[in-house]
Structure 1
C-alpha cells in the first residue's frame, strides 16, 4: 500500500476530510488526532467539544410560524366553514359570519399551539432516548451521551450498539457491522483493523465504522475521526430513524369519518334548504343562513384536534412515568394489551447483581454483602476458612481478569461501567483482597474473544512479567463443562466430575441464583490472535459463582394489578429453568408448576406449542427464535402482545409484538430502534403504569367522541323539527353559532385532560379491532339527541306558554341546551361509574376553569345589553333561571339512571364499553 502523506490527512483542527482515514495505520491516526489508546483527557475533550460542537446531525429547518398557522386551515371541514362564513357575509349576516370565522380561527390557533408543543415534546423525547457511547476518558472507561463525542475520542463498540460517530478502528475482534443504510449491502460487513486501499469504495473500507450503522456481532475499538454533520451519514443528510410525527391510525380514522360526515351534512343541508324554501316558504337568504348554521354546528371540526391533544397529553404523562413513546400508535395498542411478555433481569428484578456463592471442587463459600458495594466476607460454614478462601483465589482472579467492567464510587453509591454481573465479580474480587487495578496491570491482557450469545462464553489471554501466558474463560457453566477435560482441586488437576458440577448448578439455580462457570488454560503460547482453536483442549474448570438479583418489591403488586386487569404476564428468560421458577415464585407470577424450557418448545409441534404457551407463564433457556414464535402464537390466538427486550436477539420479537418495549438503561440501540416504547428505568412497574395511561388515553378519546357528537344532535334536531313542522325556530342561526363557539373552545377540550377513571385496571382489555362508533356510542347519539331535543323544546314551549317574548323563549332554550351539554360532560367523565359523587361533582381544574368561562359567557349572553343587540337575546328572570337549572338536574338524573341500568344489566360491556 502506498504511503499517504500527512498533507492528505486532516488533523483534529480540520475535521472535514474523512476520505483518507481508512488508508492510514491506526497508530498514525492516533498521532494525527493528538490522542492515544487510553483516550483524551476530560479537559481536552471539553475543549474539542467547544470547537467542533455536539455530535449531532443538523436539525431539519422548521417551517416558519406563518406557514404552520396557515396549514391549520388546510382541511375540508375548514374549507366548508369558511365558505359558510363567506355566504353569511354576502347575505348581510355580518354577526353570523364573524362567529363562524371566530370558531375557525380559535380552532386553528389551538391546533397551532398544540403542534408547537408537540414538536417541542418530541424534540425532548429524542434527547431522552439518544444513544450512549462507551469511551475512554482520562484512561478510564465511561459512558457518555453520543452527542458529547469529539474527534480523538477512543470508543468501544459491541454487538447491538449503534455506531455513535465515524470511527477508524484500532482493534476488531469478530466485528460485523450492518452498513445497509449507507451501502445497500444486505450482508453485514466484516471489519478489520489494518488499513484499506486509499481508493477503496465506502463498502470496502474494512477498518472504518460509520455513524448510524449497527454492530451485528463482535467487539471493536476505534478512534473518532468525524462527528455530527461531517460523518458519512451527515454528508448525505440521511437522518436516523426518530420519533414519528403526531399521526396514528385512530387519527386517520377520525379524519376520514369527519370528511365523510361532512359530505353527509352537506347533502342533508341541501335537502333541508330545498324543503324550507319550497315547502315552507322561507325566504332563501334566511333559509340558507339557518341551514349553514345547523351544518356548522353539527360538523365536529374540532374533533381531530382534541383527539391529537388527548394523545399528546398521554405521551407526556407516560414520559413522566419513565415510558417514552417512540411511535404514537403504541398509545392506542397499550390500551388493548392482553399479554405482557417480560424479560426477567432488571425488569422484574433489581438488576443489582451480587456474587453470593462460590463453589470449587473442595469447598462452598457464601459471600456476604449486597449490591455493588465491595464490602463483605467470604464464609465457609458460617466462618472465615483460610484454606477455602485460598482455594478460591484462582477462580476469583479469573473472574476479575476475564472482565471488562469498572467499579467506581459515585457519592454514597457504587456504579458499574459495563455488565452488571461483571461488576459484581469486581466487587467480589475486592472482598477477597484483590486490587483490581494492580491485578490487571500485573496480568496484562493481550487478546480476547468477546462474549456472544451464540457461543455463550468470553475468553481473554494474559501475560505476566515472567513471560507466562494464560487463558481465562467465563460463561454458561454447561458450555464450559463441555469444553473442559479436568478440574482444579486442592491436590492439583483431576478428571472433570460432570455429575458433581451438574448437581451444584441445579442447587444454586433452585435458590434463584444465576450461575457462571470459570476455566483456565496455562501455560499457553503467545499467538497473533486468540482463536477458538486455543480453547479446544487443555481447559481446566475452576468452579462456579452464583449470583442473586432480588425481585423488585413493587413488581409483586404490579403483577397482581395486571391479573385484575385481565392481562397475563409471562416471563421469558435465557436463565436456567430453576432460577426462573424461583424468581417466579417470589413474584407470585404463576400458580402453574415448573417452567417450560427452550428444549421443550423445540420438541413441540404447532398444536402442542400453542397449548404450552397458554398453559405456562415461565419460559427459560429461550433463544430469539423461541421469543418470536411465542409472540406469534399468542397473536394467532387473538392476544394483543407487549414484549420487552434489551438485546440484539430481542429485536425480531420486539418488531413482531403489538407493542415493543425496550430497556433504556441496559437496552442496545438495536432493541430501541425495534421498539415502540423505551423504558427509562427498565422497571416492569413502568410498563403497567404505561398500560394504565394507555387505557386512560383511549377512555378519554372515547369520552371526547361520546360528548361531541351527541350534544350537537340536540340543537340540530330541535331546529330541523321547527322547519319540518312549521313552528318558530327555538334558536336563531347566530345563536346556534354562539353555542358552537363558546362550547367548542371550553368544554370541548377539557375531556382530554381527564385523569385515570377508578377501576380502569379492573376491566378486561378492550378489543383491538374496536370500531370508531361502537354500539354503545350509536345508542348514546340517539338517546342523548332525543333527550336534548325534548328538553330544549319543552323549555321553549314552556316559555311561550308563560307569555314570554320569542327572544326570551329562545334565550331560555339556548341556556338550557348549554346546561344540558354541561351536565352531560359530567356524566361522560365516568363511563364506568356513577358521576353522582363528591369526586364527580368536584371536577378537575381544566373542567372547573372551562365551567367558569361558560357560566361567565352565558351570563353575558343573557344579561349584557350589547349581547342582546348582537344575538337577539333577552334577560331571564330568577324563577325561569331556576327552571333551567332544574331541567339540568333532571337531565343528570335521567342520564345517570340510564348508565346505572346499563351497567347493572351488563349492557355496557355488550355494547363495547
Structure 2
C-alpha cells in the first residue's frame, strides 16, 4: 500500500513522493510553489477541484431499514416465515398471526439492541484540524483546513493541530506530539534536514503529519499530502480494508441454525411421506401436523434470548465502564486467547515521571507517578529528607527554574500539565523536593534564555539572585551537557567515565536521561547567547524519566495470565524503554522484537518469534496489522487494545478491538468494538469475565430451550407415527416456546458468573456450541418432557376428558416441567438443592411467578381459551401436573449426581 501511494504521488508531482528524503527547496520546486508568496488563489482553487478536499471519507453506516431487514436473516426465521405462509394459505389465521408475531418480536428486539450499540462514538475525520493559517498571493490568512491543497504554505504555532502532511521549511524550537500516530509519548523535536528514504515515520524530523499537535515552538511547512493520501488517510484506508471478522458466537450460531434447519426440513419431509404413504392419512391433515412438527422443533425463542443475554451482558459491562459497539463482541471477549496492547497511555500513564536522580556519590529513587507533586526520595531503600540534602536541592532548583512548563489543578483536583511532558516531569520532581515555584521564581528571576533546539540539544536560562549576582542554569541531553562541565557538585573534577556508565545503566532501564548543570556569570550580564555556553559548568546531576506503568495495569496483566490469556505489548517506542516497562508489568521482555527485525520475517518465522517474547517495539501500523494476522493464523483469538490513530487498522482487524475512551483518538474509537471509558486496562479483565459469563449463560439457555423443542417435536412425531391425536397444536406450541421458554430463559440471562470463570483456560475456537455432555443432558431432559407431556395427555383422554382439556393439561405439563428444569439448569452439575431460589439471581423467582400467572390465564381466561384452544382444568389435573414436575426435578438431580461422580464440572 505504501508503495502504491508513493507511485501515485510521483505521478502527480515530478521526482517522487518520498518528501522526507528531499531537501526543502526540492519539495517546493516539485510542488510548483513559491516560498515567499505561496500559491495563488486561482491555482489553489484549480488544485482543489482536481484533487478534492483535505478531508477523510465518512465511515459507511447501515440505515435503519437495512438494520431491521437483516434481523430476518437467519435460517430459523426462514423456516418460521415459511410455516407462517403455509398456515396463511390454509386459512389458519390464528396460527399465522402467532407465528408472524413471534418473528416480529425477535426482529424488534434485535433491531433496538443493535441500534443502541451502533450509536456513533465519533468519526475519523475529526482528526484533521478545522482551520489553518495559509500563505496565498503573499498574504497569510485563515482558511478551512478542508480547502488546503499540495503546495500551500502553512504556519504552525503551539497548541495547533497540524492540518495536513507538511514538509517543514522553517522551525523555531518546534516540538510536535505524535503519540496518536506513532505511539511515542515524548514530543518529537523537528528540524528541516532531509533524512534517508527508509526512515520510519517516528523519526522523520523534517515532516509534520496531519492530526498531530504542536506542543512547543513555531514552524512553517509546505503541504505535500492531503485527505486520504496523508499518513492518517493511509491508516484510514487500512481500517476500511480490514475485514470485519465474524465472532465465534456468530459462527457457532450460524452453523447450529443451518444444521437444525436441515434436520427439521428432512424430518418434516420424511414424516409427511410416512403419514401419506404408510398411514394413508388425508394429505391436508398430515400437512397441518407436519407444520406443527416444524414449529415445535424450531427454537424460535433462541434468537431473542441470545440477543437478550448479549444485551444484558452489554449493560453489565457499561456499568463497569466498558461500552460495546457490537452486541456479539461481549461474548468474543470470553473466547480471547491473546491480548495485544499498546503501551503509551494504555499500560502506562502517558505522563512522564522522574523516577531516578543521580548525584555525585549517590543515587536516589523517586516515588510517585504522573504530574502530582507527591512522592518520596530514597537512598538504598531508606527515605531521605529532601530539604536537608543540598545536592538534591541544587538539582531541583535547576529543574524548576530552567523550565517553561506549568502544573495546575483542575476542578477535580487532578494535576494537569501545560507545556512539554519532559519539563512537566522535572517540575513535579522539584515540587516533590519541597520547592515553592512562585517563591523561587520571584527570588531568582529569569533575565534571558536560550530555548531548547534540536541542534543545540540543551536549554539554558540566565538568572539573578537577591544580591545581584548572575548565574546560568543548563539542562539537556546528557552527553551534550557533560561535555560542557568541568566540575562536579562537590568541587572535584568531572569523572566522565563514571557519569557515562550511569547514563548507560539508566538507558538500559528504559529511562530517558537529562543532565542539569550550573555556572556563575558576570553580574552585569543581561543577555544570554550560545557563545556564553562554554565548558565551565558544574554538573549538578542526572534525572532519569519514564512513562511509568499504571498500578492497575500490572494487576490486570497478572489476572489475565492466571486466566490463561497471553498479553503482548506492541509499541512504537524504543526497544529498551519497551523492555523495561514490559518487565515491570510482568511480561516476558528478555528478547524484545522490534520493527526492523519484523520486516524481513515471513509469516511462519514471525509466528515463531512471537512465541519467544511478549514485547514488540518500534512497531508501525503495518507491523501491528501483521502481528495481529500472524497470531490469528496461529489459531489465536486476538484482542487489540490501543488509543492512537496508529492502532486503528489493527483494532479493526483483531477479533475484538478495545479502544481507550478518554485518551483514545476518534479513529481508534471508531475502529474498536469495545471502548473503555475509564482508560483503565483493568477494565478489560472485568470485560473478559463478563464475556465468559455471557457464553455460559447462552449455553445454559440452549440447555434449557432445546429439550422443550425436542420434547414437543417428539410428542407430535410419536403421535403421527402411532396414528394418534396430536397432544398440542401449532399455536399452543408457540405459546409454550415464546411465553414459557423465553420468560424462563430470561432468568438465565441474569445468572451471575460461575466462581471459577477466571480460573479456566480460554475456550478453544473449535469447541462446538453444544458439547457431547450437553447432548446427553438435552436428550435426557427431552425424553422426560416428552414422556410426561404425552403421558398426561393420554391419561386425560383415558379418563374421559375432552380433547381441549387434555391438550390444556399437556401444555401446562410442558410449562411446569420447564419450571422445574429452570432451577436445575442454573448450574451445570452442582445440586439445585444447595441453592436457595433467590441465591445470586432473584429474577428466577420473579419469572417463575410470572409463568404461573400466564399459565393460569391460558387455562382460565376466556379470550385465551378461544384463541389457543384451552379449557379449564380440575384440581386432579393440577395434582398430576405438579407431581410429574417434581419427578422431572428429581430425575435431573440424580443425573447431575452421576456427572459429579464422573468428575465433570462443566459441560
Query: Do the two structures share a fold, i.e. TM-score over 0.5?
Result: yes
Alpha-carbon spacing, 1:283–1:759, altered in 2? closer, same or farther (3 Å) = same
Shift, 1:692, TM fit: 0.5
Alignment partners' CA distance in 2, 1:63 and 1:609? 41
Determine if contact 2:249/2:332 at 8 Å carries over to the other structure: no
Shift, 1:294, TM fit: 1.7
SS of the residue 2:513 aligns to: strand
Q: What residue is the counterpart of 1:829 in the other structure? A: 826
Does 2:386 correspond to 1:392?
A: no
Moved more, 541-550 or 407-416: 541-550
Q: 2:590 pairs with 576, 596, 613, which one?
A: 596
Alignment partners' CA distance in 2, 1:325 and 1:130? 21
Shift, 1:553, TM fit: 6.2
Q: What residue is the counterpart of 1:498 in the other structure? A: 497
Shift, 1:489, TM fit: 1.7
Alpha-carbon spacing, 1:814–1:572, altered in 2? closer, same or farther (3 Å) = same
Q: What residue is the counterpart of 2:358 in the other structure? A: 359
SS of the residue 2:415 aligns to: strand
Alignment partners' CA distance in 2, 1:459 and 1:367? 25
Shift, 1:425, TM fit: 1.5
Query: Any idea what the Cα deviations from partners look like across 1:37-90, whole Å, max 9, x if unmatched?
Result: xxxxxxxxxxxxxxxxxx99889787466x765554565544543443343233
Q: How does 1:425-464 map to 2 (within 5 A)?
A: 425-430=426-431, 431-435=434-438, 443=448, 448-449=453-454, 459=457
Q: What residue is the counterpart of 1:693 in the other structure? A: 690
SS of the residue 1:746 aligns to: helix
Determine if contact 1:481/1:498 at 8 Å carries over to the other structure: no
Q: How does 1:608-623 map to 2 (within 5 A)?
A: 623=618
Determine if contact 1:378/1:432 at 8 Å carries over to the other structure: no
Q: What residue is the counterpart of 1:51 in the other structure? A: none
Shift, 1:860, TM fit: 1.7
Shift, 1:676, TM fit: 5.2
SS of the residue 1:876 aligns to: coil
* TM-score (norm: length of structure 1): 0.69
Determine if contact 2:747/2:847 at 8 Å carries over to the other structure: yes
Alignment partners' CA distance in 2, 1:908 and 1:378? 52
Does 2:98 correspond to 1:112?
A: no
Determine if contact 1:444/1:464 at 8 Å carries over to the other structure: yes
Query: Any idea what the Cα deviations from partners look like across 1:467-518, whole Å, max 9, x if unmatched?
Result: x99996656x7xx5899586652377955533455358759999xx956332
Q: What residue is the counterpart of 1:198 in the other structure? A: none
Q: How does 1:564-603 map to 2 (within 5 A)?
A: 564-567=562-565, 596=590, 598=592
Alignment partners' CA distance in 1, 2:607 and 2:233? 49
Q: How does 1:32-71 map to 2 (within 5 A)?
A: 63=63, 69=68
Q: 2:541 pairs with 543, 552, 556, which one?
A: 543
Q: How does 1:136-147 map to 2 (within 5 A)?
A: none
Alignment partners' CA distance in 2, 1:325 and 1:560? 24
Alignment partners' CA distance in 1, 2:754 and 2:208? 50
Q: What residue is the counterpart of 1:91 in the other structure? A: 90
Q: What residue is the counterpart of 2:250 in the other structure? A: 251
Moved more, 626-635 or 499-508: 626-635
Determine if contact 2:272/2:286 at 8 Å carries over to the other structure: yes
Q: CA RMSD in A?
A: 6.3
Shift, 1:788, TM fit: 1.8
Does 2:896 correspond to 1:899?
A: yes
Shift, 1:17, TM fit: 11
Shift, 1:240, TM fit: 11
Alpha-carbon spacing, 1:366–1:279, altered in 2? closer, same or farther (3 Å) = closer
Shift, 1:168, TM fit: 12
Q: 2:806 pairs with 781, 805, 809, which one?
A: 809
Alignment partners' CA distance in 1, 2:217 and 2:819? 64
Alignment partners' CA distance in 2, 1:74 and 1:642? 27
Determine if contact 1:664/1:682 at 8 Å carries over to the other structure: yes
SS of the residue 2:758 aligns to: helix
Alignment partners' CA distance in 2, 1:610 and 1:75? 36
Aligned pair count reads 799
Determine if contact 2:300/2:738 at 8 Å carries over to the other structure: no
SS of the residue 2:784 aligns to: helix
* TM-score (norm: length of structure 2): 0.69
Alignment partners' CA distance in 1, 2:536 and 2:557? 48
Alpha-carbon spacing, 1:325–1:797, altered in 2? closer, same or farther (3 Å) = same
Alignment partners' CA distance in 1, 2:647 and 2:82? 54
Determine if contact 2:276/2:286 at 8 Å carries over to the other structure: yes
Q: Unaligned 5+ residue runs, structure 2?
A: 1-33, 133-143, 149-153, 182-188, 194-204, 465-469, 521-528
Alignment partners' CA distance in 2, 1:616 and 1:241? 27
Q: What residue is the counterpart of 1:290 in the other structure? A: 289
Alpha-carbon spacing, 1:749–1:558, altered in 2? closer, same or farther (3 Å) = same
Determine if contact 1:696/1:760 at 8 Å carries over to the other structure: yes
Alpha-carbon spacing, 1:672–1:495, altered in 2? closer, same or farther (3 Å) = farther
Alpha-carbon spacing, 1:554–1:359, altered in 2? closer, same or farther (3 Å) = closer
Q: What residue is the counterpart of 1:731 in the other structure? A: 728
Shift, 1:716, TM fit: 0.4
Shift, 1:306, TM fit: 3.7
Alignment partners' CA distance in 2, 1:68 and 1:600? 43
Moved more, 603-612 or 762-771: 603-612
Moved more, 387-396 or 268-277: 387-396
Shift, 1:884, TM fit: 1.3
